[in-house]
Amino acid sequence: MSGGVRGASAGSIESLSRHARPFAGLIGLTAAWQLAISVSDQSLLPGPAAALAAIVEMTSDGDLVRHTIASLFRVAWGYIGAAILAIPLGLVLGWYSKAERAAGPILQILRPISPLAWIPIAILWVGVGDLSAIFIIFLSVLWPLTTSAVEAAQSIPLKFVRAGRNFGLSRRALLFTVIYPAALPQLVLGLRLSLGIAWLVVVAAEMIAVGSGLGFFIIDARNAGNRYDQVVAGMLLIGLIGVVLDAAMRRLERSRALAWSYNRLSEVPKKAAAAANGRRGEAP
């Protein structure tokens, strides 16, 4: 809840230090890293300066942008495809308990298989290329997101379902007017977590199945001349993009129509508010 007008200069210093704190940790670590590299004179890990130079070099010749776009493109297709299938499937399975009893065990067995284990089959089915990487992303999102949609539909408080029935809704109509909106906050949480998984998996998929993308870029930098500065540059970029994707999804979670959750309605806001007040109270 920043953005309020604060008159006192103490307030702005406090707010400055609050915003600066996350960066202080990063800057500290980078400095320590650079210092350790420069005094130890080893070649096991390039320093931040070298990695930064690599980023600048690769950005200027357009390679990095090309690889980043390739990775994002694969994630987008696999992820969106899986979401379109998983959310309706999960909600229906969660709502119709007979269907869940039939399909649940299949889901439970497929879920713990790492999506990377599918790589040989993906290559067999669709060949080496974009499609097999997209297929692997798709699988990596499909199982966890379906499971979380099933759980979301099953954990909807009975009183919402009963209220819906009371107003004359059929079981099918309830699915659209009560189950889906009631599950939405949990679905968005599931979407955020599975986007993280997709971003983890795309790198691995690209190391094996394709000739572009950030995963390929990292493996290629090593194979084509032990350019570990480029390897680290690629890793840093993956981390940064991951943070941006996660932040975008968090923004969605906090939107006004989703800023409730029935399991948070009673307890947590009060506690959170009390904690916030406490913190404000302690501040000088």
Partner 1 sequence: MSRASYALFPALSLVKPSDVIAEAPPAAERRAKLLARGIRKVFRRGRNDVHVLEEVDLDIREGEFMVVVGPSGCGKTTLLNIIAGFEKPTTGEVRIDSGLVDGPDKRRIVVFQEHGVFPWLTVEANIGFGLADLSPDERKSRIAHYVKLVGLEGFEHAYPHEVSGGMKQRVEMARALAVRPDMLFLDEPFGALDFITRHVMRGELLRIWNAEKKTVLFITHDIEESVQLADRIVVMTSRPATIRCVIENDLPRPRDLSSRRYLEMRDKVLRELGLAKEV
Question: Of the candidates 126, 184, 189, 193, which one interacts with partner 1 according to CB under 8 A?
Answer: 184
**With binding defined as CB under 8 A, does residue 168 bind partner 1?**
yes
Stretch 264-283 residues interacting with partner 1 (CB under 8 A): 265-266, 269
* Total residues binding partner 1 (CB under 8 A): 22
Letter string b/e over residues 113-139, b meaning 16 or more CB atoms within 10 A of that residue's CB:
eebbebbeebbeeeeeebbbbbbbbbb
Residues 6+ apart with CB under 8 A from 213: 67, 70, 71, 74, 133, 202, 203, 206
Q: Count CB-CB contacts under 10 A for residue 197.
A: 17
Cβ distance to partner 1 smaller for residue 181 or 196: 181
**With binding defined as CB under 8 A, does residue 257 bind partner 1?**
yes
**With binding defined as CB under 8 A, does residue 125 bind partner 1?**
no
**With binding defined as CB under 8 A, does residue 166 bind partner 1?**
yes
Contact pattern from residue 188 through residue 217 relative to partner 1, giving x for each residue in contact according to CB under 8 A and a dash for the rest: ------------------------------
Tell me how far CA of residue 232 lies from CA of 51, 133, 226, in angstroms.
6, 23, 11
3-state helix, strand, coil in the chain (%, to 5): 80, 0, 20
Residue 241's nearest CA partner among 199, 204, 213 is 199
**With binding defined as CB under 8 A, does residue 167 bind partner 1?**
yes
**With binding defined as CB under 8 A, does residue 254 bind partner 1?**
no
Residues within the interface to partner 1 (CB under 8 A): 157, 159-160, 162-163, 165-168, 178, 181-182, 184, 256-260, 262, 265-266, 269
